[in-house]
Every structure is written in C-alpha cells, then in structure tokens.
Amino acid sequence: MSTELLERTSLRQGWDARLAVCAVLLLVFMCGAAAGALAVDSRAHSRMHQAVFDTPGGRALNFERLQKDLNLSAPQAEQVSSILADMWQYYRTVLTDTKSRVEQVLTRDQRQKFEQILRDQH
C-alpha cells in the first residue's frame, strides 16, 4: 500500500526544477530581508557609514579629504579651514533661523510633533 501511495504523490516523481529554483530564490530573498531588518533595527548600518557632514567628525573627514585630494599647502589648508568654519557657522545660523520661523507658524501640538521629527532625523 505504501508503494501505491508513493506512486500517486509527486514526491516520487521529483521536484519541478522551476519550482525548486523559485523556492530557493524566495528563501534567499527572505533571509536577506530579515538580515537587513535586523541590521537597521540594531543600528549596525549607522556604524558602517562615514560621519554625517554636519558633525565635527564629518567636517573633519571632509576637510582631510580636501586636504589630501587637492594636496593643499599648510597656508592653503589654514585658509580653507577658516573658510569652511565660516560656512559651517552660516549653515548653523540658517538652520536655526529656519527652525525658529517654522515654529512661529505652528500650533503648540504641531511644534511638539515638529521637534519629534527633527529628533528622529538625527
């Protein structure tokens, strides 16, 4: 009786090659998606990227790259550093002013949500 049962099932005939390939590809995709979700959730991805440009570390990395790629002399490096410091100060002033102006338009509840959005972005 067991031989008759095996003959009736597709297991005896073997897997369809296309079905097997699709199943393997689906499994690989799902494993990759799960691994990616775990990496993002554990914030491991942020440690693999360079520092954000608006951080002291990011600014230092950008300056070092300019210094190296442009082969700046010491006086040039000093001048470029000063110019970039001015630019960063201007950038921070513009961001602060923009934030203040947006907050003036918002209600108290909207300001709280806006603050949360800004925190989430950092």
8-state DSSP, 43: T
Do 45 and 64 fall into the same domain? no
pTM of the model: 0.48
Q: How many domains, the chain?
A: 2
Do 10 and 64 fall into the same domain? no
Do 45 and 55 fall into the same domain? no
Tens of pLDDT along the chain (122 residues) come to 555 655 555 554 556 778 888 888 888 888 888 887 777 666 655 555 545 667 888 888 889 999 999 999 999 999 999 999 898 899 889 989 999 999 999 999 999 999 999 888 76
Domain that holds residue 58: 51-122
Q: What are the structure tokens assigned to 48, written together? A: 């693999």
Do 85 and 121 fall into the same domain? yes
Do 97 and 56 fall into the same domain? yes
Burial of residue 46, with CB atoms counted within 10 A of its CB: 0-12 exposed, 13-18 middle, 19 or more buried: exposed
